[in-house]
């Protein structure tokens, strides 16, 4: 196998000096002209970066969301990737022109083209809550502002999901998952469910969905408890 070439982005020299031999202040970014296979070892979805473990071994390579040439869903830990390496001025390596390998690409496309997981069951949760709300309103008195609270919180939650989806695509700073969970718990979960299905966002990550549905259950239980006569007796 031929040694990879070191290609400086700045024009100038005819020969290719090593990074260590260049004077401080003249070093630019160098790219290793050779595609390398690797596996995404870790990924911080909120901050949009992670590390790739090269298939041939060696130091893990830093990768940013903007380095991905093809956006087919969010990067997943364990995903097979092919990439080039940049050598930064500080001597650190980072991946560029990152692409999923063919198997990962076809899998991602199939998942993106299919409906979001649990779509029917998620909408059923909204319908079930409407039934619970109706029963509670018949049995006990529910203030009118509660309906307005759920509606307004759902609108805010949907918009927040849309902002996070846009940030994910553009590689900008994400909305923390804790914020999305808290908005759902604060009566915005119907809007969150609609956003997850319509925008196809946060509908596959198991850890997030577990926390989300836990917050939904707590919200519904809290609504029933606060609407019950027992709570009114305790408050009085």
Do 211 and 122 reside in the same domain of the chain?
A: yes
User: What residue numbers bound the domain in which 167 lies?
Assistant: 115-235
CATH code of the domain in which 63 resides: 2.40.50.140
Do 194 and 130 reside in the same domain of the chain?
A: yes
Do 142 and 209 reside in the same domain of the chain?
A: yes
Do 93 and 165 reside in the same domain of the chain?
A: no
Q: Where a domain ends, among 78, 110, 142?
A: 110
Q: Where a domain ends, among 72, 91, 110?
A: 110
Which pLDDT does position 110 carry in this prediction? 45
> Which residue stretches of the chain have pLDDT < 70?
1-33, 70-73, 89, 102-120, 231-236
The two three-digit tokens of residue 220, written as one number = 């519904």
Query: What pLDDT, in 10s, does the model give residues 183-201?
Result: 999 999 999 999 999 988 8
Query: What pLDDT, in 10s, does the model give residues 106-154?
Result: 444 444 444 455 556 788 999 999 999 999 999 988 889 999 999 999 9
Which pLDDT does position 211 carry in this prediction? 94
Domain-located, residue 45: yes
Task: Classify the C-alpha dihedral 103-44-70-163 as positive or negative.
Answer: positive
CB of 52 closer than 8 Å to CB of 83: yes
Do 97 and 157 reside in the same domain of the chain?
A: no
Residue 84 bridge partners (DSSP): 96
Which pLDDT does position 191 carry in this prediction? 96
Domain-located, residue 1: no
Which pLDDT does position 33 carry in this prediction? 59
Q: Where a domain ends, among 110, 128, 144?
A: 110
Q: How far is Cα 21 from Cα 1, in angstroms, rounded to an integer?
A: 25
The two three-digit tokens of residue 171, written as one number = 């590689």
Do 46 and 139 reside in the same domain of the chain?
A: no
Do 92 and 73 reside in the same domain of the chain?
A: yes
């Amino acid at each position: 196998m031929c040694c990879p070439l070191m290609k400086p982005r700045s024009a100038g020299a005819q020969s290719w000096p090593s990074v260590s031999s260049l004077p401080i202040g003249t070093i630019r970014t160098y790219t290793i002209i050779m595609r390398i296979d690797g596996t995404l070892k870790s990924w911080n979805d909120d901050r949009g970066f992670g590390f790739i473990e090269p298939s041939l071994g060696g130091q893990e390579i830093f990768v940013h969301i903007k380095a991905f040439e093809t956006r087919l869903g969010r990067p997943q830990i364990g995903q097979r990737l092919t990439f080039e390496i940049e050598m930064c001025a500080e001597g650190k390596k980072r991946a560029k022109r990152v692409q999923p390998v063919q198997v990962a690409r076809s899998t991602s496309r199939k998942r993106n083209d299919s409906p979001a997981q649990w779509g029917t069951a998620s909408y059923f949760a909204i319908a079930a809550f409407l039934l619970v709300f109706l029963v509670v309103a018949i049995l006990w008195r529910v203030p009118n502002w509660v309906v307005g609270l759920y509606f307004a919180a759902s609108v805010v939650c949907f918009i927040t999901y849309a902002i996070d989806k846009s940030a994910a695509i553009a590689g900008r700073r994400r909305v923390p998952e804790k914020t999305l969970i808290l908005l759902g718990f604060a009566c915005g979960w119907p809007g969150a469910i609609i956003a997850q299905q319509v925008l196809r966002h946060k509908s596959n990550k198991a850890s997030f969905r577990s926390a989300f549905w836990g917050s939904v259950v707590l919200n519904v239980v809290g609504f029933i408890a606060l609407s019950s006569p027992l709570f009114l007796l305790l408050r009085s």
